Chains A and B, each alone.
Chain A
Amino acid sequence: MRKRPEAAGLYDPSFEHDNCGIGAVADLTGAKKHETVTRALQVLDHLEHRGASGAEIDTGDGAGLLCQVPDEFFREAVDFELPQLGEYAVGVLFLPRDDESRRRELEQLIERTIEAEGQALLGWRDVPVDHSVPGPSASEVEPTIRQVFVGKQLEGDQDAFERKVYVIRRVIEREAGEDLAIPSFSSKTIVYKGMLTSPQLPRYYEDLGDERFKTAVALVHSRFSTNTFPSWELAHPYRIICHNGEINTLRGNINWMRARESTLASDLFGDDLEKVIPAVRPGGSDSATFDNVLELLVLAGRSLPHSLMMMVPEAWENHDSMPDYLRDFYAFHSCLMEPWDGPASVAFCDGTLLGATLDRNGLRPGRWQVTKDDFVVMASETGVLEYAPDQIVRKGRLAPGKIFMVDLDKGRVVEDEEIKYEISHRQPYGDWFREGSVHLDDLEEVAPEEVPADPVVTRQLMFGYSQEDLRVTLRDMGGVTVAEPTGSMGNDFALAVLSDKAPPLYGYFKQLFAQVTNPPIDPIRERVVMSLESAVGPQSNLFDTSPQHAHQLIIGQPLLRNFEFEKLKQVDHHVFSADVLDATWPVEEGPEGLQAAMERLCRESSELIAKGDNIIIISDRAAGADRAPIPALLATAGVHHHLVREGTRLQAGLVVESGEPREVHHICTLIGYGASAVNPYLALETLRDMFDNGLLPGIESADQAEQNYVTSMGKGVLKTISKMGISTVRSYAGAQIFEAVGLGKELIDQYFTHTTSRIGGIGIDELAIEALARHRRAYPETAERLPVGGVHQWRRFGERHQWNPETIALVQHAVRHGGRETYDEFSKRVNDESRARMTLRGLLKIKEDAKPVPIEEVEPASEIVKRFSTGAMSLGSISSIAHETLAIAMNRLKGKSNTGEGGEDPRRYVLDPNGDSRRSAIKQVASGRFGVTAHYLVNSDQMQIKIAQGAKPGEGGQLPGHKVDDYIGKIRHSTPGVGLISPPPHHDIYSIEDLKQLIYDLRTANPEGSVSVKLVAEVGVGTVAAGVAKANSDHVVIAGHDGGTGASPVSSIQSAGVPWEIGLAETQQTLVLNKLRDRIIVQTDGQMKTGRDVVIAALLGAEEMGFATAPLITMGCIMMRACHLNTCPVGIATQDRDLIKKFKGEPEHVVNFFFFVAEEVRRYMAQLGFTKFEDMIGRTDMLEAQEAIDHWKARGVDLAHLLAQPDCPPEWPRRRVRPQDPVLDDHLDHEIIRQSQPALERGERVHIEIDCQNKHRAIGGILSGEIARRYGEEGLPEDTIEVTLHGSAGQSFGAWLASGVSLTLWGDANDYTGKGMSGGVMAVRPPEGAAFVAEENVIIGNTVLYGATSGKAFFRGLAGERFCVRNSGVHTVVEGVGDHGCEYMTGGRVIVLGPTGRNFAAGMSGGIAFVLDEEGVFPERCNMELVDLEEPTEADFEEIRALVMEHAARTASPVAERALAEWDKLSGSWVKVFPRDYKRVLREAAERAAMAQDGAMAAAVAGGIEEQAIPAQG
């Protein structure tokens, strides 16, 4: 029944992700009713849009229900005697259906085990199901579902029985293997689930419809998996949880759990413990694994909320207002277990307790309500269960890090505070922690041991330093920049495995990053959730709690300076004891010596642990003339995995003392493979040396340089972990969130166990040879200068680059004067495998023995060029003339240009006199949502959601203030001169079902346009692409890691993501295997240059190709790599007027280039016998690996997986052959539009009344698109179309709302309300007759008014997290907000008439917020980095008053009434949140105005600026 295909080719089922909707209902009285089941199913039905189906519409990804054992029902349903409730357990079994004898075998195993464990087998029950319900794919693997009943035969309470039942289950699971799944086995709860859609669940299980089937609580789940391989087991709920989100640190958590097992001991389990270990069932999803561990913790004696607090702690590290007892609790428990980090909304139920907890960053939604009939509903959305307004007592939302819980024994909702207070006070955790733990800072300083050392330069050579390491990396990190270097353009140098320059081992590891299924984090603006802290020391038995559990040495951040390291090394303490492992080997032993040295290192590490050391230092200080350093990463990962395997890993912490690491990526890989802290002594020494030599201008002391370096490294490490959505170094440590490119299997299996490495590569010998080669540079004679490097900038004797003086000069000449011949020379130069052994495609060969066709029969180049598009380069990063030149060229070709992030000037929607069009066919929708309005979307052929960018996946963007001139500011709806930040995540895409929602939203604005999703290649991108296809996208882009950028930290440019060849092949294989390839177009990009590149991309599975750097170069770019400095000397990447004049590019240049490329494509097509481009797609059989890969390092590279054909019937489509299913047919707007005809056609005012439900999403979206299409950006006059709605509106209520529409909702609304609002008016107010107090209850969800550009919005009630994130123009009033309010806001007015959460105004650079802070607590909740808090001025008060009056008028808010009534009394409570940059710009404008002679002119100027900053209303 787990018939997922084995890993074949590049597809591996372990890459799958899932997200979903969750719901829970409970009857607080504890009364068991069938109605509870009915209601739970109703909730599930209302969450259906959050789940997904696969290739077949009737095969769901999974749905399920968990509830109490329905005792009354079972008594009548079974034909054997049942003891009283609690004295028997029910096991739900998924047994193989098509193999009778195997089933019997398994049943016997179950019976045998029950007996062996001393319990009574009461009997079996066949669960009645309707086999006609599941779709074909689900049917094919449908299990036989039986229930087994076990009678309690032991002394002790029900918990003891539960433990025994668990032991029985684990024994069975371990012995049975994969073809048996046990969804639940308990005396308290039971699970009904399957590979079904939500509505199918009750139809499939007859039991659920039985009136006698009763429960007081139920948990339901609707699953959206990124692919559809049939799995009944992976449907939720699991035994005690269901989960919406993703555990990013899973690999590390599994490793650490495994490492912990040897220390586990439990009185409760006794000897049974060994039967259940390992506790994690292999092959489970992150949710399943989480469930496994949680279940174990609970059964071993901790309460459910206590265990959850351990696994998903709040952000306690930097939380000043958290009570001490709670911080103590978290601090103590951080010594026991690392956080399971990632977006998580975990709903749990053990039969008595029901509830949910949210991750520290609040990245998943959760809403709850309590009704008068003592019923509690909690779900991903509000409105899932319809109730009369007067029945609702309270409404709320899950808040970051908080637990919402119902206790049936107590018969009430238990508040987070109460739960945590009680748990935190069970033991004196704070005392234990303070007594047991030691902070490194508190240890006394010790004098360093004098180590005689060779000159710095000698050792720099030995460790492979280049001049660039000093000139670029260390100068920026240790100097006045205090950050790792910023780079621009892409990464075009050789892959490490193909490099002749002996790049360090770190270079083979590519950072993974979050995309779609989980969000990256902004480590700067959301610093409150981040932590760099780590600890070393022994870990004790996880099941136990004692003072000695706190014996940890705490290190504030992972980079140790020498004096800190010495404290650790020479630690003299009754608990801590450190020893050093020598990570060097004798040079005379040659390359073979490395293997032996690694064996020695592992052996010695075991010995140190046996001896009682708990800090192991891996040091290469002994390296010198006779001893070569072992690559520090190899030594660290090798020892780490050795100890994990040995089960002793947690008895000691690993600390690295090495001369090798110097970059952020180096430190991150070391941490990722197990190091708790690193002392990069040579980097520090180099900095001191540089300071002494005056190479750090502006730095006052060597000490300052070191401190800067530490600071820079901290920022860089946070950036790296946040890319993966991880908040704490503790959970990043050992999580090995990397993909290796170019490392052989043996090396990986031995030292980097479970790291993905898909093309094979070098082994330990090659590493040894390169280490010795570096050593030879240093000894016996030292070269005078370090090697040039040539990574950041091209150098003749440095690293090879694809773009180099020859290729650039040739292609520029070709498109101007040189013509086809020069292009051919260019393309030969690039393609020539012997020279261009830098890329994987360089190692591929296009077959030469195919049956050719005459070239005349091949489709014309003019058809082929339509498949090309240019990259997403924003206006802002490049000049408007360059941007428009590209657009004109692509429109002439009928290809597509891309707006990039940053809007588009509407004047470009009008054709030039000569017929040219400057409009970009692709409108990008990125995380900053700059200028994304209904009008913008309507004017597109394709709307592209940029999830990630090849140059810097997992990161946002930024446009420095000096590039934001008046024009750019206007188009982006931002303040000129103020830098702009695009957040790393889309704040409306934290998971796959969110993406599905955004796709839906975009379709509403422009139903004719297609939707594209841009991803970046990394392991698992294929399954994400499958999710994208299921989320209804028409198009997916797989970008290579090597794409360009205007500005990004170099570690992102160089170390994140993998080549597109791997990502594309994986995507193609996965989509075809999933039968999803038929409905989605695949595009790839990343350093595309020639026709050969295009052909290889097509053969690997792409229909379309994107080019960015190459067309820029044809227009004159010379790879200055200074795009972020605004000094581009050829007028491309600059907004400087004088430099723009130097731009010499013409559309013809770009057109010529693409035609040359297409002609080259045609020649290959003729050679391969293809007349139609589409016939090439996915034909990997036309490719082969170069027979003689003659690079000595590349010989271990194996591209077979890349070229594998999916194992499926030949008739399954391998390219897009049909459109996606329509989704807008049942949209509420169709009715609204029908009634709006008089307004749309004649501008007459209309008023519409209509009911809505949470299923009705993006209300107003289609209408707004229609208005934008007819009336442009202006729209209609305010209140032309007035719509009054009743009910709970679905997500994205009022999306893109255009001017002229006013929505008034009587009820409540979900997440993403007012997304991209473009001029309309909305009001949300409680329903008539509501029994609750509006201002104390949540009325709208998270991420409200995200990317809104203009309009007005009034909310009578509380909002969730990230209210007004990236608002650039809306004026709004709300009565309270959650965390991160007004984040990244660049314009508009926000009035908060009540409380705010933490981190208000983070990244806020424009607009103004006014907060009515009667309690006087606001300042501590506000992030003051960019804003000042002031008293409002007279003019401000007028503005506030006007808005509050309108709020009162539109929502009848008593809060507003009171504010107006007590205006004078409250005037002292108003706080003005004023961004400093914005203030400066307004002041400058005022000064300019004052200087103007003519008064009227002055007013006009001031007004003009104001207007740009805040688009005029209505």
Chain B
Amino acid sequence: MGELGGFMKLHRVNGRKRPIPERLGDFKEYIFPAEEPVLREQGARCMDCGIPFCHNGCPLGNLIPDWNDLVYRDRWPEAIRALHATNNFPEFTGRICPAPCEASCVLDINDDAVTIKQIEQSIIDRAWEQGWVLPEPPATRSGKTVAVIGSGPAGLAAAQELNRFGHTVTLLERNTHAGGLLRFGVPDFKLEKWIVQRRVDQMVEEGVELRCGVNVGEDITGDELRDQFDAVVLAIGSTIPRDLPVPGRELEGVHFAMDYLEMRNRWVAGEYQDGTPITAAGKHVVIIGGGDTGADCLGNSHRESPKSVTQLELLPQPPDTRPEDLTPWPQWPLIMRTSGAHEEGGERDFSVMTTHFEGEDGKVKRLHGHRVGPPPSFEKIEGSEFSIDCDLALLAMGFLHPQPDGVVEQLGVALDGRGNVDAPEPDYMSSVPGVFAAGDARRGQSLIVWGINEGRQCARGVDRWLHGIGHEAEGADLVDLLAATNR
């Protein structure tokens, strides 16, 4: 339970960061957990709450108090077991999750939250280092087959769970490598790609058949999938980005953020020898969209020696401290967030509407906009028009829904009002029996923890369905249900 009253004596210590000049010179990760004695002390700050709000704040339901305590008590092998019990990929979440758990930590009410994320990362890093993470192939095979489409966090989690349940899983990925946004969206300085591959390798060793470069819908049709597999999981992500339909959008140099990020990641991976078609080097970069994708663009841009980087956001600048009336604890607070990328430089501007791009020679040169009032009307503030230099505009305004044509169309699954696959909880089964959905494709764009959680829960739905057990089991069926849900 941590140390009794530990939180009264000890203060929060964050992870170490490499100095800015140094880290801007490469694409390596720059945040590292604190040294072990410090970490264990940090674990001692956990209060072992009667109601651990962190455990609820975590979409995965990570057993945070349990492993905080285990770290405090120097019981690392058990800590990784407790961590893995709810989270297939803590090395990912420990690095790139925004940590809603910390926002809902009871200490966050009137003190600094426990450094949950840092502890999480150190548990899994040590586990890999010590060789405690081994393939866990199932003892027996059920004889059932499942195709999981998409190898982002949701697809990976679903595949790993289903495989461990004993089903024969084929993971289909249209890209060259598995990982989805983990590999091609998140920059290396936040998550180095060998870390992703290490986990993929584990799954393959466990018996998951990974087939990359297979574009489902083209290389294999929906009907073929149904024929070849007992169940299908759609984990195809929310890939259609929100566009900015303003004059000048067509100019060269105006790109979707994801195009830029994918190219940069491939460059880091050595796929482009001579630089990428989209680059920030020597440019005035304007990023439209104040979210995490925008921040990733920011960090990438700074590593290419741009002339300037500006990040624009339509919404007003949030307050520095938690607005209790709007987002009271333990909710995720709407506050001004300064990520590692923001520390590295660049301008941020809020309440800004982009009206058009101005170009020369078909290339974008300036961005024009004006200031707006607060949502929902975003009324224009008269006389606030402005323009700024812009050689590269990156649109990071979010994603709409999964790709509606292709496999989605072929399988004939119903979509919800937002264009996502309609596959309600708790079964995650779509309108087509045997076809399931998970992750951003189902719930819309979200955090990686949600993706992993979706994959896990969906796997349970698939498992029950394959065993012929309804969710509302009772009486004798409960025997089977409990057996099934216990895993």
Contact = CB atoms under 8 A, between A and B. Distances in A.
Contacts of A776: 479-480, 482-483
B109 A591 contact: no
Given A788-B63, A796-B55, A1192-B478, A813 B328 contact: yes
B50 A1119 contact: yes
Given A1129-B109, A1142-B110, A793 B486 contact: no
Contacts of B482: 502, 773-774, 776-777
Interface in B308-340: 324-325, 328-331
B76 to A, nearest CB: 12
A769 B56 contact: no
Interface stretch (A302-310, A1120-1128, A1357-1365): A1120-1128
A795 B110 contact: no
Given A784-B81, A809-B328, A1120-B106, A1136 B48 contact: no
A849 B329 CA distance: 41
Contact of A772 (B61, B140, B479, B486): B479
Contact of B47 (A801, A809, A1129): A1129
B8 A1121 contact: no
A590 interface: yes
B20 interface: no
B486 A783 contact: yes
Contact of B49 (A775, A793, A1142): A793
B325 A794 contact: no
Most buried by A among B48, B81, B478: B478
A1192 B476 CA distance: 10
A1122 B110 contact: no
B84 to A, nearest CB: 9
Given A817-B325, A1138-B8, A793 B50 contact: yes
Contacts of A765: 475
A627 to B, nearest CB: 15
Given A785-B85, A794-B51, A817-B324, A1139 B8 contact: yes
A805 B51 contact: yes
Contacts of A1136: 8
B301 to A, nearest CB: 39
Nearest to B473: A1192
Which DSSP category, helix, strand, loop or mixed, fits chain B's interface? loop
B311 to A, nearest CB: 31
Contacts of B51: 793-794, 801, 803-805, 808, 1118-1121
A622 interface: no
Nearest to A801: B51
A1127 B81 contact: no
Given A787-B486, A795-B55, A1119-B50, A1127 B475 contact: no
A806 B57 CA distance: 10
Contacts of B330: 805, 809
Interface string B235-279: 000000000000000000000000000000000000000000000
A614 to B, nearest CB: 39
A1130 B478 contact: no
B30 interface: no
A814 to B, nearest CB: 10
A1132 to B, nearest CB: 12
Interface string A1477-1508: 00000000000000000000000000000000
A809 B82 CA distance: 26
B436 interface: no
A816 B325 CA distance: 8
B220 interface: no
Contacts of B81: 784-785
B362 interface: no
Interface string B137-154: 001100000000000000
Interface in B60-75: 61, 63, 65-66, 73, 75
B4 interface: yes
Contacts of B82: 785
Given A793-B50, A793-B51, A769 B328 contact: no
A1118 B110 contact: no
A1116 B110 CA distance: 11
Contact of B75 (A694, A805, A1122): A694
A793 B48 contact: yes
Contacts of A387: none
Contacts of A1139: 8
Contact of A816 (B50, B111, B328): B328
A696 B128 CA distance: 27
Contacts of A1118: 49-51, 53, 106, 109
A801 B330 CA distance: 18
Interface in A461-478: 467, 471
Nearest to A817: B325
Interface centre among A590, A805, A812 (most CB of B within 10 A): A805
Interface string B269-307: 000000000000000000000000000000000000000
Contacts of B106: 1118, 1120, 1129
A868 B145 CA distance: 61
A1130 B474 CA distance: 42
Contacts of B373: none
Nearest to A787: B486
A112 interface: no
B52 interface: yes
Contact of A1120 (B50, B56, B325, B479): B50
Nearest to A1136: B8
Nearest to A774: B482
Nearest to A765: B475
Interface string B456-487: 00000000000000000011101111110011
A793 B110 contact: no
A769 B8 contact: no
B176 to A, nearest CB: 34
Contact of A777 (B5, B61, B483): B483
A489 interface: yes
B7 interface: yes
Contacts of A809: 53, 328-331
Interface in A1053-1092: none
A370 B114 CA distance: 75
B447 interface: no
B137 to A, nearest CB: 13
Contacts of A788: 63
A796 B49 contact: no
A1144 interface: yes
Contacts of A697: 73
Contact of B487 (A783, A806, A1138): A783
A809 B7 CA distance: 22
Contact of B139 (A489, A590, A781, A794): A781
B107 interface: yes
A1121 B110 contact: no
Contact of B478 (A590, A769, A785): A769
A117 to B, nearest CB: 59
B350 to A, nearest CB: 24
B52 A794 contact: yes
A819 to B, nearest CB: 10
Contact of B475 (A769, A803, A1119, A1122): A769
Nearest to B54: A805
B109 A1130 contact: yes
Contacts of B48: 793, 1122
A1125 B5 CA distance: 9
Contact of B7 (A467, A801, A803, A1129): A1129
Contacts of A777: 482-483, 486
Interface string A483-500: 000000100000000000
24 contacts: A697-B73, A772-B479, A773-B478, A788-B63, A792-B50, A793-B65, A794-B50, A794-B55, A794-B56, A796-B55, A801-B51, A806-B56, A1118-B106, A1118-B109, A1119-B50, A1122-B48, A1126-B5, A1127-B4, A1127-B7, A1129-B7, A1129-B111, A1130-B110, A1142-B111, A1144-B110
Q: What 3 A-B pairs come out closest when comparing CB atoms?
A: A1121-B50, A1192-B474, A776-B483
